[in-house]
Amino acid sequence: MLRLDAAPARAFLDEADALDRLRPRVEAAHRAVLDGSGQGGDMLGWRRLLRAPNDALLEDLETTAARIREDADVLLCIGIGGSYLGAKAVIDALTPYFRAPSRRAGNDLFGEAARNAPEILFAGHHMSGAYLRELLAYLDGQSVYVNVISKSGTTLEPALAFRFVRRWLEERFEDANRRIVVTTDPEQGALNALRAEKGYKKYEIPPDVGGRFSVLTPVGLLPIAAAGIDVRSLFYGAVAAFERLAAPEDNAALEYAALRYALHQQGYGTEVLAVFEPRLAGIGGWWQQLFGESEGKEHRGLFPATLQYSTDLHSLGQYLQQGRRTLIETFLMAEHDGGDLRVPATEADLDGLNYLAGQTLRHVNRQAYEGTAHAHAEGGVPVMTLWMDRIAPGPLGELLYFFEHAVAVSAYLLGLNPFDQPGVEDYKRAMFNRLGRP
Ligand code: PA5
């Protein structure tokens, strides 16, 4: 079960009873998330689908994923923002760091399914021509399947990438149309038109689920299942969190939302989410979008930034320790992270590391976390830590829902609609004007 250790951050509150005084507003925001009475209350489908799990859909996704896994060397996922970050986050967290030269050999930390999975690649999340050219060259000679994911079907980055990839696939595979799966709105958008002509397999994105809240719909679940990850455990981990976090008492999501809001009101402007296990960095990317697009409106909201330690302690660590004191820091940690390599002893000890001989790297990394949390708190950064038991599908499902619930409550505390992103349209308008879109 997820656990929030917020004591070090609470010590930074100007008034000791700040959270008690905030309590009625937090509970009202929480109730609005539960009953849909807040702004954007018609976009709570991400909760509805956990209230009434659709096992038939999960089975259908597993069947499609099995077909892809059987036949594909590569599954290319085309999407941007909420249409790729969730899948990438979970896949990065739950698949091996390194792929063996033969896909059949592998790392014992992962199940058979993850070891034998196709490589999952991403496109359509930017518009680099060099990337696309090199990607298509890399794909040559491999058995490729494509999952194109766009709720609107009109987003330029994935739409353009799909045009290139579709032609590439059609030139190489007689059964190209069978190799393409679209995930999109039930009715709207260009992908529905293409699908009607080509007969692609299609999954629907429920209209009441926004992109950044869609990881537990086919948007995230198909790529995740194709990667060999147990999507049922992931989904039901989220269901467990959905049920547990419905109660206002002893609710870590409410505590997290309240604390970051109270600190924001005191003038803190940035929240850093820091991980010590690189495979969790993708969760940071997903979290960044979830909080950035949900809260960054009307000149309000903490700026969310994700860091990967200890790597970034050697770059941004200096700023965290001694830069402007407007940062709060949330560590995302796992009790069991698989890092049980032991430091070997050497006779001569020329590198002077024998004091660590016999220790696991997990222990060393843990001391780095404890030392960093201590030093940053001493240096004036309110720190808190979110603990998972393990990096596994169930706990990750819990974590996804935890953040979704927390961000909705947080945005309501700020008086904002968590489910729209009006600011994103401004750059699009300016870009499309320049491109001469009719
Ligand atoms: O959270 C959101 O709604 C956005 O980030 C979208 O997911 C992103 O813009 C992609 O949109 P679409 O799926 O319509 O291509």
Q: In what order do the strands lie in the sheet with 383-390?
A: 3-5, 383-390, 327-336, 270-275, 303-308
What's this model's pTM, rounded to 2 decimal places?
0.96
What's the distance, Cα to Cα, between the start and end of the chain in Å?
A: 52
Q: Name the helix (H) or strand (E) containing 330.
A: strand 327-336
- Can you give the pLDDT at residue 100? 60
Residue type, 374: H
Ligand 1 pocket test target in 43, 125, 147, 155 with most atoms within 8 Å of CB: 155
**How many residues are present in the chain?**
438
User: 109 falls in which pLDDT band (50, 70, 90)?
Assistant: low
pLDDT for position 102: 46
What is the helix (H) or strand (E) element at residue 387, kind and residue range? strand 383-390
Atom 8 of ligand 1 has which residue's CA nearest to it? 81
Q: Give the whole-angstrom CA distance, residue 174 versus residue 176.
A: 6
Q: Which residue do the tokens 């499309």 mark? A: 432
Average pLDDT on 314-319 reads: 96
Give mean pLDDT, residues 336-356. 92
Q: What is the pLDDT of residue 107?
A: 46
- H-type alpha helices, 123-230: 129-139, 156-172, 190-198, 218-226
Q: Tell me, in angstroms, the distance from the centre of ligand 1 to residue 94's CA.
A: 24
Half-sphere exposure of 202 (CA within 13 A, CB side): 22
| Residues forming the active site | 293, 314, 428
| Distant-in-sequence, close-in-space partners of 105: CB < 8 Å, separation ≥ 6 | 115
Q: How far is the CA of 306 from the CAs of 93, 271, 275, in angstroms?
A: 15, 8, 8
Which of ligand 1's atoms lies nearest the C-alpha of 213? Answer: 1
Local confidence band at 338 (pLDDT 50, 70, 90 cut-offs):
confident
Pocket of ligand 1 from Cβ distances under 6 Å: 80-83, 150-152, 155, 158, 210-212, 293, 421
- Contact indicator for 161, 89 with CB cutoff of 8 Å: no
Q: Give me ligand 1 centre to Cα 152, in Å.
A: 7
Residue 409 has pLDDT above 80, yes or no: yes
What pLDDT was estimated at residue 105? 42
Radius of gyration of the chain (CA): 23
Tell me how far apart the alpha carbons of residues 73 and 103 are, in angstroms, rounded to a whole number. 9
Query: For residue 189, what pLDDT is reported?
Result: 87
- Give the pLDDT of residue 106: 43
| % of the chain exceeding 90 in pLDDT | 92
Place 101 in a pLDDT band, splitting at 50, 70 and 90: very low
Which pLDDT score, from 0 to 100, does residue 400 have? 98
Position 110 scores a pLDDT of: 66
More confident residue, 84 or 340: 84
Flag whether pLDDT at 62 surpasses 70.
Answer: yes
Where does residue 7 rank: exposed (0-12), middle (13-18), buried (19+ CB within 10 A)? Answer: exposed
